[in-house]
């Protein structure tokens, strides 16, 4: 296979996700010769456009969805984007991660080049906390070893 196609890859799968809220049609569409289970409608099309605008590993949602989850999911607005078939620009929101429960321990959710980190310290039991401390100490050691002397 060319270019190593089919070979195991060291890079993780990074999914793009687009979420929109609204009514659409879901079901079997087609003819007796060819029937497909599908979702159709403007709301599904907008979710697909939001998905295509998302960076790998991120979630982009519509204003309507953001309004419904803003108490649970922090998100920051992105610049308005034109969407084919709509007369107005759409204001997308980039999901930044779940909010920690009020009064609970913090939730950490960081993503950058070479970094994918999520920790909900509300649910980590003592055994998981011991393992997490070990992994974090190893990661800090690896980063310190990369520092240029000076």
Mean pLDDT of all residues in 120-142? 87
- The greatest distance separating any two alpha carbons of the chain, rounded to the nearest whole angstrom, comes to 73
How many CB atoms are closer than 10 A to CB 95? Answer: 20
Report domain extents, the chain: 13-95, 107-146
Token pair for 131: 């393992």
Question: For the domain 13-95, what is the CATH superfamily, name and number?
Answer: Nucleotide cyclase, GGDEF domain (3.30.70.1230)
Q: With a threshold of 0.85, does the pTM exceed it?
A: no
Under 8 Å between Cβ of 54 and 78: no
Beta strands (DSSP E) in 96-149 are 107-112, 115-120
β-strand 59-61 against 17-19: which pairing, if any?
parallel
- pLDDT for the residue 67: 92
Question: Is the pLDDT score of 150 beyond 80?
Answer: no
Question: Is the pLDDT score of 78 beyond 70?
Answer: yes
β-strand 35-40 against 93-95: which pairing, if any?
unpaired
- The CA-atom distances, in angstroms, between 140 and each of 3, 90, 132, 134 are 34, 41, 12, 10
């Amino acid at each position: 296979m060319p270019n190593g196609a089919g070979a195991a890859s060291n890079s993780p799968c990074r999914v793009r996700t687009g979420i929109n809220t609204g009514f659409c049609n879901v079901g079997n569409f087609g003819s007796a010769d060819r029937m497909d289970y599908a979702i159709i409608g403007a709301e599904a099309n907008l979710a697909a456009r939001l998905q295509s605008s998302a960076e790998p590993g991120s979630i982009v949602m519509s204003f309507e969805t953001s309004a419904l989850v803003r108490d649970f999911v922090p998100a920051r607005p992105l610049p308005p984007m034109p969407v084919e078939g709509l007369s107005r620009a759409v204001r997308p929101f980039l999901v930044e991660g779940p909010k920690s429960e009020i009064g609970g321990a913090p939730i950490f959710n960081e993503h950058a080049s070479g970094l994918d980190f999520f920790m909900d310290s509300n649910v980590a039991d003592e055994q998981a906390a011991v393992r997490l401390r070990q992994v974090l100490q190893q990661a800090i050691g690896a980063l310190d070893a990369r520092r240029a002397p000076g």
